[in-house]
């Protein structure tokens, strides 16, 4: 435009050449330092070409000054646009280089901290303990080597009682025995304390039985509540609350009258089959129900033997096989697999 | 126990469908576990619990059903047409053991014709799986399954002097029983004898020689009551279990003897055509009183059950199953217990049958009422006990804390048997051995013969199980009771076994050595604020030089357990074990935390050339005792042998952290403190040997 207006090599003519010059230099930039150099040389604040050109404004004849000024500004704008463009290209290629350098196969396995496992029986035990804690119970322990009094006699199994036959007992040479159930702990608790009592007693028990479906050692949890005015309804309500928390909130609970020497009335308790939710399946023989525990109101003979007056106090007790619950929960088909201690199985149980 | 629906229905008026009867019985505690149609009959498999011998027969079940259905019960006809001479002229009964046999009834039927049974009788017996033998034996069997009373029929001609003597067997006596076994008897066994020798095992099984045969004409019917304990010990001694002993051991009806005998006599007369002789020989022990009674209050029953009950229902139910009730006030009754429930309801089952019993526990009546009411209708409630249970103990928390800690440290919890083989008890150390090991009198096998005094053998077994399945890294623990022996109380212990590593370079697995295991043991102790220190000790089963006793706080502190490398392990890699008593662990006390300084600390290392014989614990103890100001912690950084270290010495590099609570330490202050530490350690432990 204005550069064509004069024949001499004035500042205006110079500007077109400058832009050409810049474009040539810009083509040679290949990295960040080159880009920096180009930027400083052209639009540097102190000695940049654009700044120098602006400083030359005062030497331009007055009539051309306006055109010249606008020309420099246009040059500056173009240079800056181009610099930005090159900068962005450099950014992109730098990112791609650093990405290449850092790239990993993110699908490779992480290095996990080695975490162990709690035995499934004890996971179930703890779950049950927590349920009863919330209901105000405490946990009681007792010895595994017991005497006849605590394991049988105080529980209304007199000597020669046929119900003793159902509890194949390991005897020690000194006449004591391995407890066949956790019920001796309720005897010990009642002998040691006054009502109100609410305890649960998890532990190992032993029966002289070793075949595909039995283990000579297994686990039970015993529950006991003794106070004034404990009712059969309390037993029912407690078992419902417990079993619905242990299995599923919709679990149906059914009580059937039965017999145990140490409770009266005695009940066997069924739940709706946890596998089919009561629809009927192979596991529950299509009945929709599964027998899960034995319970009852503490027999007055047991209360008396334990120094508690059955005319004043009543109570309930229940006993549940923990191994069976673990088998149901984790789908373990055989009780003996629980005591193989196969770490490939055990490690799958979450802490 | 199998029962026939048709047979039960004989006694019901008017009766009901098989499904309804099965359902009602099940709901009342006589669980019909299986119901199987067979021809025009239905067979019930009923789980009759040991306390209900009165329901181990068809009339007994019909009595329950009639009450549950609010129907009539048709009791079998027992009337006979008796003729002279009276029984007393034909036979004699002497009961020598009136406690073993509190009642003995004998009837005589003469001129019967032994032969096959009529069709209806065969059918009834076969329905419930009983084989027909001849009409006389079948009738006794029928009455057993009808009324629950075991009956024996003797060939009167084969009883020497027509005499029955109920007595204990004499030493050396023998009897060939109905099953043609020749049996050695002893005085524990109650027998029926004639004037000369035993002819039957009382309440268990008849004798072969005196049984009814084709040639029998005159029959003596025995209907007796035997003490459950006596029958049980006899049956046990002989290893016999029969339909008769099953009922007597659980308690037959003491008052049914005559009724059942009459029923048998009537059926023999009808079927085998004999003549029932007048009267009966009926010997009773008058000391035995089968009458039990107690008081029942409706209000208390309601309170016990937590369910509303109607007085009229209660009366109908209880009288229906045989109780007699005498109202003393509205909702209050004196209740008499039927004799067939005597053994179930006596308040003190340990008392001999000849001793009087006190009043029946009211809960026995509550049980009857609730089971006949049905449990389904009882509303669900929770005990109205306000405060949490007062017997709070933290033992369970403690166990659970150990469990969680070890699992989080990479160990898998095992559960092994509490008994093992004798040799395992001797091969490894034990926390406590007090007297002789506890031995099982009836072990499953030689592998499970003594109670464990250590968890280690069980864990080794579990480790071997896993190694056989290719496991390359064993990390197992168990918490369990130990049985020190003698009269000592059981103690609880935790044991660990570890060894091996995964061989994947990607995982950069550390080689597993003693200090990997020790680290877990120490951190477990630290979890409970217990410092566990190891003192070298020679222990059985552990590699010499690696084994140690573990103590609480100091080497002279209480013994907590042991640790070391297993000797003689059939393992492809070394296995390390530790066992600790849990008694030092408690979650009862919360330890206050130490507030960390707000000012930066300074870490300084120190390398000490020391004798390789000096234990680290000694150095650590010295540092701790020195109590250098502002030293907040120190740790072992490195141990180095080899080039530049004299033989017999080791370079130990220790890292110290100095940190003041209330200021930033200057370089000079740190130097001053550290110099004191350096001097102390150099003086005490610095290498003085050849360089």
**A82–chain B nearest CA distance, Å:** 49
Closest CA to A163 of A260, A90, A96, A304: A260
Q: What percentage of chain B has pLDDT greater than the value 70?
A: 100
From chain B, pick out residues whose CB is under 8 angstroms from the CB of A173. 438-441
Report the distance separating Cα B587 and Cα B293, nearest Å. Answer: 53
Geometric angle at alpha carbon B43, from B41 and B44, rounded to 5°: 140
Contact of B539 with B593, CB cutoff 8 Å: no
Percent of chain B with pLDDT over 90: 90
Tell me if A316 sits within 8 A of A244, measured CB to CB. no
B443 CB near a chain A CB, below 8 Å?
Answer: yes
Distance from C-alpha of B42 to C-alpha of B219, rounded to nearest angstrom:
34
Q: What is the dihedral of CA A229, A230, A234, A238, to 10 degrees?
A: 140
Please state the rounded mean pLDDT for residues B372-394: 90
Q: Is the pLDDT of residue B8 over 80?
A: yes
Phi, psi dihedrals of residue B431, rounded to the nearest 5°: -65, -40
pLDDT of residue A213: 86
Closest partner residue to A341 (CB to CB) among B403, B407, B415 is B415
How far is residue B151's CA from residue B257's CA, in Å, rounded to a whole number?
A: 9
- Tell me how crowded residue A127 is: count the other CB atoms within 10 A of its CB: 14
Residue showing tokens 């093992």: B420
> What phi and psi values does residue B563 have, to the nearest 5 degrees?
-160, 155
- From B507's Cα to the closest Cα of chain A, the distance in A is 6
Measuring CA to CA, which residue among B155, B157, B151 is closest to residue B138?
Answer: B151
Q: How many CB atoms lie within 10 A of CB B36?
A: 12
Q: How is A85-107 classified by DSSP, letter by letter? A: HHHHHHHHHHHHHHHHHH---TT
**Secondary structure string (H, E, C) spanning B49-113:** CCCCHHHCCHHHHHHHHHHHCCCEECCCCCCCCCECCCHHHCCEEEECCCCCCCEEEEEEEECCC
Query: Across the interface, do B26 and A114 touch by the CB < 8 Å criterion?
Result: no
pLDDT band at residue B326, thresholds of 50, 70 and 90? very high
Higher pLDDT, B391 or A196: A196
Of A121, A136, A257, the CB nearest to B388: A136
Average pLDDT, integer, range A71-89? 91
- Check residue A46 and give its pLDDT: 84
Token output for B34: 């299986």
Closest of B125, B145, B127, B148 to residue B135, by C-alpha: B125
- Give residue B393's pLDDT: 82
Interface contact A216-B465, CB threshold 8 A: no
Residue A3 has pLDDT above 50, yes or no: no
* Rounded Cα distance, B222 and B202, in Å: 10
Q: What is the pLDDT of residue A1?
A: 41
B19: tokens are 């499904």
Please name every residue paired with B103 in a beta bridge, in sequence order, or none if there are none: B225, B284
| pLDDT for res A58 | 84
| B639 contacts B652 by C-beta, under 8 angstroms | yes
In this prediction, residue A167 carries a pLDDT of 75
Counting beta carbons within 10 angstroms of the beta carbon of residue B389, is it exposed (0 to 12), middle (13 to 18) or buried (19 or more)?
buried
The DSSP secondary structure of B551-577, one letter per residue, reads: EESSTTS-EEEEEEEBTT---SS--EE
> Taking 80 as the threshold, does the pLDDT of residue B22 lie above it?
yes
pLDDT tens digits for B269-319? Answer: 999 999 999 999 999 999 999 999 999 999 999 999 999 999 999 999 999
The beta strand positions in A207-252, using DSSP E, are 217-227
Q: Rounded to a whole number, what is the distance in Å from the CA of B394 to chain A's nearest CA? A: 8
Higher pLDDT, B413 or B387: B413
Residues A98-123: what's their mean pLDDT? Answer: 88
User: What is the distance, to the nearest Å, from the Cα of residue B157 to the centroid of all Cα atoms in its chain?
Assistant: 50
Position A123 confidence tier, pLDDT thresholds 50, 70, 90: very high
Task: Residue A99: count other Cβ atoms within 10 Å of its Cβ.
Answer: 9
* Contact between chains at A231 and B443 (C-beta distance less than 8 A): no
Contact call for residues A197 and A228 (beta carbons, < 8 A): no
Residue with tokens 């009502």: A195
Nearest CA in chain A to B51: A259
Mean pLDDT of B458-480: 95
Give the confidence band of A4 by pLDDT, cuts at 50, 70, 90: very low
- A208 CA to chain B: closest CA distance, Å? 7
Is the Cβ–Cβ distance between B385 and A319 less than 8 Å? Answer: no
The pLDDT value recorded for residue A12 is 59
Residue B78: what pLDDT?
A: 96
In this predicted structure, what is the pLDDT of residue B511? Answer: 81
| pLDDT digits 0-9 by tens, A251-288 | 999 999 999 999 999 999 999 999 999 999 998 888 89
Which of A99-103, B400-404, B528-532 is predicted least confidently? Answer: A99-103
Provide the terminal-to-terminal Cα distance of chain A, rounded to the nearest Å: 83
**Is B491 in contact with B432 (CB distance < 8 Å)?**
yes
A319 touches A235 (CB < 8 A): no
Q: Give the tens place of pLDDT for each residue, B166-225.
A: 999 999 999 999 999 999 999 999 999 999 999 999 999 999 999 999 999 999 999 999
Rounded to whole angstroms, the Cα distance separating A123 from A129 reads 10
Task: Give which of A143, A170, A189 to mutate to test B binding, by max B Cβ within 10 Å.
Answer: A170
CA B495 from chain centre, in angstroms, equals 27
Mean pLDDT of A142-151: 96
pLDDT digits 0-9 by tens, A167-183: 799 999 999 999 999 99
Contacts of B232 in chain A (CB under 8 A): 160, 162
Compute the average pLDDT of residues B525-542.
93
What is the per-residue pLDDT for A10?
A: 57
The encoded tokens of residue A29 equal 């930039």
Buried b (16+ CB within 10 A) or exposed e, B57-67: bbbbbbbbbbb
**Candidate from A117, A141, A145 with C-beta closest to B483:** A145
Q: Is B378 helix (H, G, I), strand (E, B) or coil?
A: coil
Sign of CA dihedral B78, B79, B83, B84: positive
Looking at per-residue pLDDT, the higher value among B572 and A226 belongs to A226
Window 199-238 of B, Cβ < 8 Å to A = 228-229, 232-233
Is pLDDT above 70 for A5?
no
Q: From CA B495, how far away is CA B430, in angstroms rounded?
A: 11
Q: Is B556 on the interface with A (CB under 8 A)?
A: no
Q: Please give the residue of chain A at the shortest CA–CA distance from B372.
A: A257
User: Which pLDDT score, from 0 to 100, does residue A11 have?
Assistant: 59
| Portion of chain A with pLDDT greater than 90, in percent | 66
Q: For residue A138, which residues of chain B lie inside 8 Å, CB to CB?
A: 388-393
Any residues with CB less than 8 A from the CB of A165 and at least 6 apart, and which?
none
Length of chain A: 351
**CB atoms closer than 10 angstroms to residue B329:** 8
Beta strands in B517-667 (DSSP E): 532-536, 548-552, 559-565, 576-581, 602-611, 631-640, 649-658
Instruction: Show the tokens assigned to B177.
Output: 């029983």
CA of A190: which chain B residue's CA is closest?
B391
A7 — pLDDT class (breaks 50, 70, 90):
very low
Compute the mean pLDDT over every residue in chain B, rounded to the nearest whole number: 94
Q: How far apart are CA B26 and CA B12, in angstroms?
A: 17
Tens digits of per-residue pLDDT, B620-655? 999 999 989 999 999 999 999 988 899 999 999 999
Cα–Cα dist B549/B559, whole Å: 7
CB atoms within 10 A of CB B597: 16
Query: Chain A within 8 Å of B438 (Cβ-Cβ)?
Result: yes
């Amino acid at each position: 435009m204005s550069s064509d207006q004069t024949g001499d090599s004035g500042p205006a003519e110079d500007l077109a050449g400058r832009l050409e010059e810049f474009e040539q230099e810009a083509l040679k930039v290949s990295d960040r330092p080159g880009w920096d150099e180009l930027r400083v040389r052209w639009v540097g604040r102190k000695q940049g070409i654009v700044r120098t050109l602006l400083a030359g404004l005062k030497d331009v004849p007055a009539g051309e000054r306006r055109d010249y000024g606008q020309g420099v500004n246009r040059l500056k704008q173009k240079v800056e646009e181009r610099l930005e463009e090159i900068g962005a290209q450099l950014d992109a290629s730098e990112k791609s280089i650093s990405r290449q350098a850092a790239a990993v196969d993110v699908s490779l396995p992480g290095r996990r901290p080695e975490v162990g496992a709690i035995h499934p029986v004890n996971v179930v035990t703890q779950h049950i303990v927590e349920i009863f804690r919330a209901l105000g119970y405490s946990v009681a322990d007792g010895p595994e080597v017991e005497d006849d009094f605590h394991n049988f006699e105080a529980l209304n199994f007199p000597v020669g009682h046929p119900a003793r036959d159902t509890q194949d007992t390991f005897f020690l040479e000194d006449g004591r025995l391995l407890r066949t159930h956790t019920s001796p702990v309720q005897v010990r608790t009642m002998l040691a304390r006054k009502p109100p009592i609410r305890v649960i007693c998890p532990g190992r028990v032993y029966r002289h039985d070793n075949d595909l479906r039995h283990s000579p050692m297994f686990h039970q949890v015993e529950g006991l509540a003794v106070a004034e005015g404990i009712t059969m309804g309390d037993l029912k309500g407690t078992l419902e609350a417990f079993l619905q928390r242990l299995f599923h909130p919709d679990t149906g609970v059914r009580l059937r009258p039965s017999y145990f020497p140490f409770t009266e009335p005695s009940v066997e308790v069924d739940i709706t089959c946890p596998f089919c939710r009561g629809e009927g399946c192979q596991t529950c023989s299509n009945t929709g129900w599964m027998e899960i525990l034995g319970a009852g109101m503490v027999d007055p003979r047991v209360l008396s033997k334990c120094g508690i007056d059955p005319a004043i106090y009543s109570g309930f007790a229940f006993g549940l096989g923990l191994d069976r619950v673990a088998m149901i929960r984790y789908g373990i088909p055989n009780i003996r697999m629980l005591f193989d201690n196969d770490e490939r199985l055990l490690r799958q149980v979450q802490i | 126990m199998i029962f026939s629906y048709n047979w039960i229905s004989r006694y019901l008026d008017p009766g009901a469908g098989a499904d309804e009867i099965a359902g009602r019985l099940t709901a009342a505690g006589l669980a019909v576990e299986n119901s199987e149609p067979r021809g025009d009959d239905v067979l019930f498999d009923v789980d009759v619990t040991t306390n209900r011998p009165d329901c181990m027969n068809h009339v007994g079940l019909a009595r329950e059903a009639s009450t549950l259905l609010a129907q009539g019960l048709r009791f079998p006809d027992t009337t006979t047409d008796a003729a002279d001479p009276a029984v007393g002229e034909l036979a004699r009964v002497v009961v020598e053991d009136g406690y073993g046999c509190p009642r003995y009834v004998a009837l005589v039927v003469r001129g019967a014709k032994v032969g096959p049974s009529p069709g209806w009788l065969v059918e009834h017996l076969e329905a419930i799986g009983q084989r027909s033998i001849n009409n006389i034996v079948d009738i006794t069997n029928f009455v057993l399954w009808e009324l629950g009373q075991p009956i024996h029929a003797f060939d009167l001609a084969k009883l020497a002097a027509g005499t029955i003597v109920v007595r204990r067997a004499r030493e050396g006596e023998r009897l060939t029983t109905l099953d043609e076994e020749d049996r050695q008897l002893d005085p524990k066994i109650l027998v029926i004898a004639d004037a000369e020798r035993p002819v039957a095992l009382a309440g268990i099984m008849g004798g072969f020689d005196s049984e009814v045969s084709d040639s029998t004409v005159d029959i003596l019917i025995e209907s007796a009551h035997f003490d459950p304990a006596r029958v049980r010990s006899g049956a046990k001694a002989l290893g016999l279990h029969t339909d008769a002993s099953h009922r007597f051991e659980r308690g037959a009806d003491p008052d049914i003897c005559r009724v059942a005998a009459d029923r048998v006599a009537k059926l023999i007369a009808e079927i085998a055509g004999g003549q029932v002789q007048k009267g009966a020989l009926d010997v009773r022990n008058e000391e035995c009183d089968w009458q039990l009674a107690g008081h029942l209050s409706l209000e208390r029953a309601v309170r016990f059950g937590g369910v509303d009950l109607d007085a009229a229902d209660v009366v109908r139910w209880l009288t229906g199953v045989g109780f007699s009730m005498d109202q003393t006030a509205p909702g209050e009754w004196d209740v008499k217990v039927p004799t067939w429930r005597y053994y179930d309801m006596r308040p003190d089952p340990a008392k001999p049958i000849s001793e009087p019993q006190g009043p029946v526990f009211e809960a026995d009546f509550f049980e009857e009422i609730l089971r006949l009411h049905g449990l389904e209708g009882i509303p669900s409630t929770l005990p109205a006990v306000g405060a949490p249970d007062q017997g709070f103990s933290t033992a369970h928390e403690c166990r659970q804390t150990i469990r969680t800690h070890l699992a989080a440290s990479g160990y898998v919890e095992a559960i092994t048997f509490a008994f093992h083989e004798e040799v395992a008890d001797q091969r490894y150390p034990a926390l406590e051995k007090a007297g002789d090991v506890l031995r099982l009198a009836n072990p499953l096998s030689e592998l499970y013969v003594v109670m464990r005094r250590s968890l280690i053998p069980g864990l080794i077994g579990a480790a071997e199980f896993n190694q056989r399945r290719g496991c390359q890294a064993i990390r197992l623990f168990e918490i369990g009771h130990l049985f020190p022996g003698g009269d000592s109380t059981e103690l609880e212990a935790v044991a660990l076994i570890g060894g091996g590593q995964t061989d994947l370079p990607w995982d950069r697995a550390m080689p597993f050595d003693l200090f990997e295991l020790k680290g877990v043991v120490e951190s477990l102790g630290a979890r409970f604020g217990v410092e566990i220190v190891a003192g070298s000790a020679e222990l059985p089963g552990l590699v010499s030089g690696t084994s140690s006793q573990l103590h609480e706080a100091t080497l002279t502190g209480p013994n907590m357990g042991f640790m070391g490398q297993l000797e003689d392990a059939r393992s492809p890699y070394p296995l390390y074990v530790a066992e600790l008593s849990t008694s030092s662990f408690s979650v009862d006390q919360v330890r206050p935390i130490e507030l960390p300084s707000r000012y930066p600390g300074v870490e300084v290392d120190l390398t000490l050339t020391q004798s390789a014989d000096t234990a680290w614990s000694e150095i650590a103890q010295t540092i701790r005792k020195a109590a250098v100001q502002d030293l907040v912690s120190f740790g072992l950084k490195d141990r180095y042998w080899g080039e530049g270290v004299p033989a017999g010495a080791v370079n130990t590099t220790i890292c110290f952290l100095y940190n003041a609570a209330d200021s930033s330490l200057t370089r000079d202050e740190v130097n001053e403190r550290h110099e004191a530490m350096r001097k102390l350690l150099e003086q005490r432990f610095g290498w003085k040997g050849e360089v």
